[in-house]
């Protein structure tokens, strides 16, 4: 029993030592942060590169040669190069230390596309920084140079493989400036996310007109649509109602108004989607929402345990696509 208690105490002691020394930081595990993240001295690591190790090996050979032949010029050259490498360590570290990173806004995309994340890099020093690399696992890297006291926005593209929330992966920040002998790096995990809509089905998937039609008076297609004037363009207006001749003459976007126009009203119903697979049904509904909006229909979305009343426009389209993207996720 005494041995078991002693083992538990040893484990706890090792855990406390690990926390104090921060050894877990070297694994790159960091927690997402909503606000700006700054690389302080405890978050910047530095080691020789492959060229740096080779350089140190050559310095060792030069030192042995100078000792063997008692060559003062050999000593001078060896110590000069060694001092340059030590100064290079300081400059490589300072090129990364103190950088601040800000999360940016990400626009929703469809599954199968590239999600675009914006990261702001702020240099608060009165000196420029060069060759700063931002790398995401499996998404390539971006290299930027920063002016003094400047904020620079970088675009990072991440494959959107599935619908729902896509969070920005851990990003590695590194530099090898100025001589490439040492690599300084750090990790950031910004609390940035992008909403991924379902992948739209084939364009041949046409929404059924389940709810019939209802309108504001008049009969579409029977000659009762009378032109009554123009008004400023509003988001969601059908493209076929835009006065394109006025646009060609350099005027702002205006929309034709008709008397007796009748808008088609339909319900996009989960129960009417083909197939039994959830993702396939969401894919068809996504295509139906896009088609209904393009054709200027007034449409509603009926999902299990949720119904969005009929409407149209960019805001209504976004609400419907968000409902499809988050379908099945806990609210």
Outline where the chain has alpha helix (H): 2-21, 50-69, 72-96, 244-248, 278-294, 314-325
Look at residue 296 in the predicted model and tell me its pLDDT: 82
Q: Which three-class secondary structure string do you get for 130-161?
A: EEEEEEECCCCEEEEEECCCEEEEEEEEEECC
Least confident residue range of 51-55, 93-97, 201-205 = 201-205
Same domain, 250 and 272: no
Task: Judge if 69 and 174 occupy the same domain.
Answer: yes
Q: Do 31 and 168 belong together in one domain?
A: yes
One domain, residues 271 and 254:
no
List pLDDT tens digits, range 72-81. Answer: 999 999 999 9
Q: Which pLDDT band, with edges at 50, 70 and 90, does 32 fall under?
A: low
What is the per-residue pLDDT for 73? 93
Other C-beta atoms within 10 Å of 321: how many?
23
Co-location of 255 and 315 in the same domain: no
- Tell me, what DSSP letter sits at residue 331? -
Q: CA torsion, points 194, 197, 202, 205, in degrees to nearest 10?
A: -160
Q: Which of 4-8, 17-21, 43-47 has the highest mean pLDDT?
A: 43-47
pLDDT of 222 reads 38
- Determine, yes or no, domain membership for 147: yes
One domain, residues 267 and 311: yes
Q: Bridge partners of 301?
A: 268, 308
- 3-state SS class at 192: coil
Structure tokens at 210: 């389940």
Domain span including residue 157: 27-197
Q: Is residue 239's pLDDT more than 90?
A: no
Give me the number of domains the chain comprises: 3
Q: Do 148 and 277 fall within a single domain? A: no
pLDDT, tens digit (0-9, with 9 covering 90-100), for 116-131: 999 999 999 999 999 9
* 215 pLDDT tier (thresholds 50, 70, 90): very low
């Amino acid at each position: 029993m005494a041995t078991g208690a002693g083992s538990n105490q040893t484990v706890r002691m090792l855990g406390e030592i690990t926390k104090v020394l921060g050894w877990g930081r070297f694994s790159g595990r960091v927690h997402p942060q909503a606000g700006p993240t700054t690389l302080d001295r405890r978050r910047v690591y530095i080691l020789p590169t492959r060229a740096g190790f080779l350089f140190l090996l050559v310095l060792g050979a030069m030192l042995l040669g100078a000792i063997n032949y008692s060559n003062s010029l050999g000593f001078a050259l060896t110590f000069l190069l060694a001092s340059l490498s030590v100064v290079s360590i300081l400059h490589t570290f300072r090129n990364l230390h103190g950088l601040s990173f800000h999360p940016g806004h990400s626009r929703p995309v469809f599954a199968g596309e590239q999600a675009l994340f914006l990261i702001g890099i702020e240099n608060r020093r009165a000196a420029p920084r060069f060759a700063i690399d931002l790398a995401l696992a499996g998404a390539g890297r971006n290299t930027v140079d920063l002016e003094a006291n400047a904020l620079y926005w970088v675009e990072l593209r991440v494959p959107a493989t599935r619908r729902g929330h896509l969070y920005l992966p851990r990003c590695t920040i590194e530099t090898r400036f100025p001589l490439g002998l040492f690599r300084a790096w750090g990790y950031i995990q910004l609390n940035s996310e992008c909403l991924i809509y379902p992948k739209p089905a084939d364009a041949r998937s046409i929404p059924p007109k389940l709810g019939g039609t209802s309108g504001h008076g008049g009969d579409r297609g029977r000659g009762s649509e009378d032109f009554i004037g123009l008004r400023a363009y509003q988001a969601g207006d059908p493209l076929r109602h835009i006065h394109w001749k006025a646009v060609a003459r350099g005027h702002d976007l205006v929309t034709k108004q008709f008397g007796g126009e009748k808008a088609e009203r339909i319900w996009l119903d989960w129960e009417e989607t083909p197939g039994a697979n959830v993702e396939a049904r969401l894919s068809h509904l996504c295509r139906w929402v896009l088609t209904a909006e393009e054709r200027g229909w007034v449409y509603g979305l009926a999902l299990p345990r949720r119904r969005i009343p009929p409407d149209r426009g960019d805001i209504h389209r976004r609400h419907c696509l968000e409902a499809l993207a988050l379908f099945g996720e806990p609210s």
